[in-house]
Amino acid sequence: MSNVRVRFAPSPTGFFHIGSARTALFNWLYARHTGGTFVLRIEDTDKERNTDEALKVLLDGMKWMGMDWDEGPDVGGPYGPYFQSQRQPIYDEYLKKLEDAGRTYEKDGAIWFKLEGERYTAYDDYLKAEIEKVKAEPVIIDDAVRGRVERAEEKDFVLVRKDGSPVFHFVNVVDDIAMGITHVIRGEDHLSNTSKHVELFKAFGVEPPKFAHIPLILKEEGSGKMSKRDKGALIEEYESRGFLAAAVRNYISLLGWNPKDEREKMDIGEIIELFDFPGINKGNSRFDEKKLSALNAEYLRELNIESFSFLARPLLNEAGVVNEEVDEDYLQAVLTLCQPKARSLDTLSELCGYFFLEDYSMDEKTGGKIAKKTDPKELLSEVLPILQSIEKFDAESLKTALETHAEDNNQKVFAYFPALRYATSGQGGGPDLLPMLAVMGRERVINRIQRFIG
Ligand code: GLU
């Protein structure tokens, strides 16, 4: 085990946003890559928003994506508690250290952090008043993603509010120290806070961790950051939309990172092996639903039929295509035909609905095309007795019987195919016809043809 200790430090809001999921994933990947420790710390200082349900959404989302934590809620660990709301004694102790070092003062009921440096007054355009500023030494952040960032704080800042609650900067740094965090991997929106954080580390006499600020995820169109209202923004929705966790995880790993080659579909072992800071992009990444769907389709095709059916059944059920009475063998036989064409599970009902429902829609364009060339009813009346009488209703026997019939009538066997497909599925395309008829079974096929002939 290495001494790397990283943390994901979410403030539960009731949503598991793709940006947070990406931060969690990068931390998790880095811990697994280095053989370090992944800590989950809940920054739940906002009592109104940080409810149990909000926490559950987050933990469920992480578990669904396959991220496990070595220390944190449920599992505990030597640096607990892992909820900021339960760490007040630790904050009191650390505040005392700053007080003892003469780095705090009280003003307007709040406790302030005193920056080191020369003090002077300046006119503040925003406040329209003279204010005290500090000429502090600039803080240099050697960011693993951004490179060298230099920034000087100019104003003292609050550590503990009037109501006694400690502010984010203070508890965040205290916990990183108390939990022995070695690397802080977080969203770029926190880069502007980092100089404050480094000042605090210095005041505590502690070497700051290595920072890695990861760039934003932009929405699919436009220049804005992806917000929770954008499609695809919430992890908790992917599962119900029938996305595979492994595909979503693979996709999110590529939002702002790549293995510096063309590879996109990678199993989690490969991603862990390749993941490192030099692979994190400086530029923003953009959410791309098409790329996610394409990856998801690749993962779907790889599933064995039992797993595919296990995931597909609830969605087909919800779409009203199957119910509990649909036989698992029949479902699996159908899905074996449809799986190669599936892009996501939530569009599967459009692909294979006619295998289960008798009121499947008839594609008029296809119907028109077929009727132009042949009389489908006549063709089907011709082959109906064959379908009724062949001994075994499997693809092989159907092929032999239909070929023989075609030859006897100086026809090509394919002449019968469009009408057969159209009558039994309402479609112009789909899985290979004869295996499709075989799966549907004699009774269903004959009924459908008879109904079509009228
Ligand atoms: N609670 C902060 C957030 O959710 C954590 C920031 C950090 O990782 O330091 O943004």
How do residues 62-91 score in pLDDT, each as one tens digit? 999 999 999 999 999 999 999 999 999 999
pTM, rounded to two decimals: 0.87
User: Which residues of 205-308 form beta strands (DSSP E)?
Assistant: 210-214, 217-218, 285-286
- 26 and 79 in one domain? yes
Q: What's the confidence (pLDDT) of residue 16?
A: 96
The answer to the question of residue 187 being in a domain is yes
Q: Is the pLDDT of residue 59 over 90?
A: yes
CATH, residue 15: 3.40.50.620
Q: What is the mean pLDDT of residues 258-275?
A: 93
Whether ligand 1 lies within 6 angstroms of the CB of 186 is answered as: yes
Atom 10 in ligand 1: residue holding the nearest Cα:
10
Contact 371, 419 (CB under 8 A): no
CA of 134 to the centre of ligand 1 (A): 27
* Tens of pLDDT, residues 340-394: 988 888 889 999 999 999 999 999 999 999 999 899 999 999 999 999 999 999 9
Domain final position from 320, 347, 374: 347
Number of domains into which the chain is organized: 3
- 199 and 284 in one domain? yes
Residues with a catalytic annotation lie at 228
The answer to the question of residue 405 being in a domain is yes
Atom of ligand 1 nearest to the CA of 10: 4
% of the chain with per-residue pLDDT over 70: 100
Which residue in 334, 287, 72, 37 sits closest to 183, CA to CA?
A: 37
**Of the residues 26, 43, 210, which should be mutated to test ligand 1's pocket, given the most ligand atoms within 8 Å of the CB?**
43
CA of 9 to the centre of ligand 1 (A): 5
Question: What does residue 340 show for φ and ψ, rounded to 5 degrees?
Answer: -60, -20
Tokens 């702002």 belong to: 256
- 279 and 198 in one domain? yes
- 313 and 260 in one domain? no
- 387 and 246 in one domain? no
Q: What is the mean pLDDT of residues 105-133?
A: 94
Atom 5 in ligand 1: residue holding the nearest Cα:
9
User: For the chain, how big is the Rg over CA atoms in Å?
Assistant: 31
Confidence tier at 261 by pLDDT (50, 70, 90): confident
* Tens of pLDDT, residues 424-454: 999 999 999 999 999 999 999 999 999 999 9
CATH, residue 328: 1.10.8
The answer to the question of residue 113 being in a domain is no
Atom 4 in ligand 1: residue holding the nearest Cα:
10
Atom of ligand 1 nearest to the CA of 186: 8
Domain final position from 288, 315, 347: 347
| Domain ranges, residue 323 | 303-347
- 307 and 200 in one domain? no
Q: How far apart are CA 290 and CA 216, in angstroms?
A: 19
Domain final position from 347, 379, 414: 347
- Residue 405 pairs in a beta bridge with none
